[in-house]
Structure 1
Amino acid sequence: MNIVNTAITGAVALLGVVVGGWLSIRNQDRSWERDHARQWRDIRLAAYKDFVVAYRQYVAFALEPAANISAVPHPRLPGELMPYFDQDGRPYKEGLEAASTAVRLVSESPDTLNAARDVVRSVRQIAAARATCSETALPPEAFERLWSAQAAFLLATRRELGLLAMSRGVADG
């Protein structure tokens, strides 16, 4: 009987070690997954913040009275103009393009990507309109499209980041 008791005790102890090791590995995996998700959330949040800063600076430059912007027909989108900036405006254009590319690189959500694309298109339309008129004569529809695109971008990014939904008024201009 002692041999059976010893064997059972050893088997139970070995089973306890196996189960304990498995639980430990499982907890470490979960912890790593949470840390990984948190790091990517922080990366996405930083990219989205940089994008918002870049497109707002782009628009602010386009609204400067001294801004020198020209526009030509877009090669692939009929009826749309493509803005060109001078040396002073080039950093804003490059900043927007870099931030937009970063969003495309890190985003997981097609809704976020589409909303970011709409924001870029809206700010480019504002700049293109600025090429043909003064900053005070810009069509209000261009800004309405931007505010709508901005609201969609904010809602999509909040949803992607797992944040609570916000009221419609908060997302506007």
Structure 2
Amino acid sequence: MTVTVITGLVALAGVALGGLLTLRNQDRAWQREHQRQWRDIRLTMCNEFLAANRRYVAYVLDPRASITAIPHPREPGSLMPFFDETGRPYKEALEAGFTAMRLVVERPETVRAGVTFVNRAREVAAARATRSEADIPSETFDSLWKAEQDFINAVRGELGLASMARQP
């Protein structure tokens, strides 16, 4: 009788242990899938933000673009660019992409790099408001491309990838 009880208890313990291990493995698989989905979402949003920023700059450099600029109310020495109805969708797409990116990234340095990237694009637009696209100082573009590279590297860090060296 004792052997039967012990055998039953061992079998029951084996079933319970097997159930716990199965639950643990299922939880790990769910966690991996959840992380993969969020990684894909982050990559998509950051890619859309990069594309919106590029379209914004491309519009700014269009010779037909109509841009005005006024002094920034909170940043002395800076200008705020304003667009006509043709350019407004580019500005709105940039702002929407920026907000979407901020909603999904986890690291503060990624957000800071995104803020710098947007500010550098706005500086290009403000410079364009006061001169032709050919007369924008090359330093303005250098700082824009550096900000873009810094943002890309911040996103790569966010995704667990190594930084890339700046391409000439």
Q: TM-score range by the shorter chain?
A: over 0.9
2:129 is matched with which residue: 128, 131, 137? 131
Q: Deviations over 1:100-128 (max 9, x none)?
A: 00011001011110000000000000000
Alpha-carbon distance between aligned partners in 2 of 1:130 and 1:15, rounded to the nearest angstrom:
75
Q: What percentage of aligned pairs have identical amino acids?
A: 55
Alpha-carbon distance between aligned partners in 2 of 1:25 and 1:61, rounded to the nearest angstrom:
54
Alpha-carbon distance between aligned partners in 2 of 1:89 and 1:35, rounded to the nearest angstrom:
40
Equivalent residue number for residue 37 of structure 2: 39
TM-score by length of 1: 0.94
Q: Which runs of 5+ in 1 are unaligned?
A: none
Query: AA paired with 2:53?
Result: Y
Q: How many residues align?
A: 168
Alpha-carbon distance between aligned partners in 2 of 1:167 and 1:7, rounded to the nearest angstrom:
68
Query: AA paired with 2:84?
Result: D
TM-score by length of 2: 0.97
Q: Establish whether residue 8 from structure 1 lines up as the match of residue 6 from structure 2.
A: yes
Q: Establish whether residue 55 from structure 1 lines up as the match of residue 53 from structure 2.
A: yes
Alpha-carbon distance between aligned partners in 1 of 2:66 and 2:163, rounded to the nearest angstrom:
39
1:143 is matched with which residue: 141, 144, 150? 141
Q: CA deviation at 1:166?
A: 2.2
Q: Deviations over 1:53-93 (max 9, x none)?
A: 10000000000001000001112212110000000000000
Over the aligned positions, Cα root-mean-square deviation in angstroms equals 0.9
Equivalent residue number for residue 87 of structure 1: 85
SS of residue matched to 1:70: strand
Report runs of 4+ in structure 1 exceeding 2 Å deviation.
164-169
Equivalent residue number for residue 159 of structure 1: 157
Q: Deviations over 1:33-69 (max 9, x none)?
A: 1111011011000001100110000000000001000
Alignment of 1:104-119 (within 5 A): 104-119=102-117
Query: AA paired with 2:54?
Result: R
